[in-house]
Amino acid sequence: MSVRFLIAGLPLALLGACTLASTPPATAPAVQPTETAERTSVPTRIPTPTPVELTLRVTDKLVNCRYGPSTLYEPVNELDQGSSARVLGRNDTSTWWYIRDPGNPNGYCWVSAGVTGIIGEGDRLPVVQPPHTYVTQLNLIVEPNRVVVDCTQFPQTFFFEAEVAANGPALVNWQWEASTGVTSDVRTLLFDEAGTKVINEYYQVGGPNDYWVKLHILHPNEMTSQVNFRATCGP
């Protein structure tokens, strides 16, 4: 319907246009053109701060470069007296420097300010937060790993020892799991400093079979170690 309406009204529109054209137009006042100035937005340029890098020189003999800014963290490398390194940051008290590890081009470590000399103003360096610590190693052994006994001599007991190493102060959560479907409660191991702690446990089996036990590290990172053991019986 709308299409027919437009087409039907077309001659009327043309007629109206002709009528208007036959009347002389009134003289319109001259309009002076106005110049419009276009404002170009210029983005503000924020200068990028230049990273501060200073040079450090080792003043003591055989200095440890550690994973974090304290003797509570494990050593990452050793620096000889007179060696130098690039300093990228500091701790909040400026007692430890965060440096590029001279022994590892892609690595970083912390060295004490008390055994080094720094060229430049150390307070200009940014404060770097201590790193997160984690479990670096997990070793699990079982004793014995096999028993052969008379079938009337069950249950039999197996003993487990796990060595857990952390690279700094850490709260480690762990849990045992056995092939029989048994799991222990989640337990906690506290590290006041970097080092190795031992977990001892035992487990009894009720008959001959092939078994396994796993120790799961759940926090601050995940890691699992497994041992297999066997119980055999005969007449």
Summarised one tens digit per residue, pLDDT across range 37-83 is 444 444 444 444 456 679 999 999 999 999 999 999 999 999 999 99
54-124 belongs to CATH 2.30.30.40: yes
Element of type H or E holding 228:
strand 223-234
CB atoms within 10 A of CB 3: 7
For residue 54, the SS3 value is strand
Ranges for all domains in the chain classified under CATH 2.60.40.10: 135-234
Domain 135-234: what homologous superfamily?
Immunoglobulins (2.60.40.10)
Ranges for all domains in the chain classified under CATH 2.30.30.40: 54-124
pLDDT tens for 102-137 read: 989 889 999 999 999 998 888 899 999 999 999 999
β-strand partners of 216: 175, 224
Strands (E), 59-169: 63-66, 75-79, 84-90, 96-100, 108-112, 116-119, 135-143, 146-150, 156-166
Instruction: Give the confidence band of 91 by pLDDT, cuts at 50, 70, 90.
Output: very high
CB 67 within 8 A of CB 74: yes
b/e 76-99 (16+ beta carbons within 10 angstroms → b) = bbebeeeeebebbbbbeeeebbbb
For residue 19, the SS3 value is helix
pTM listed for this prediction: 0.74
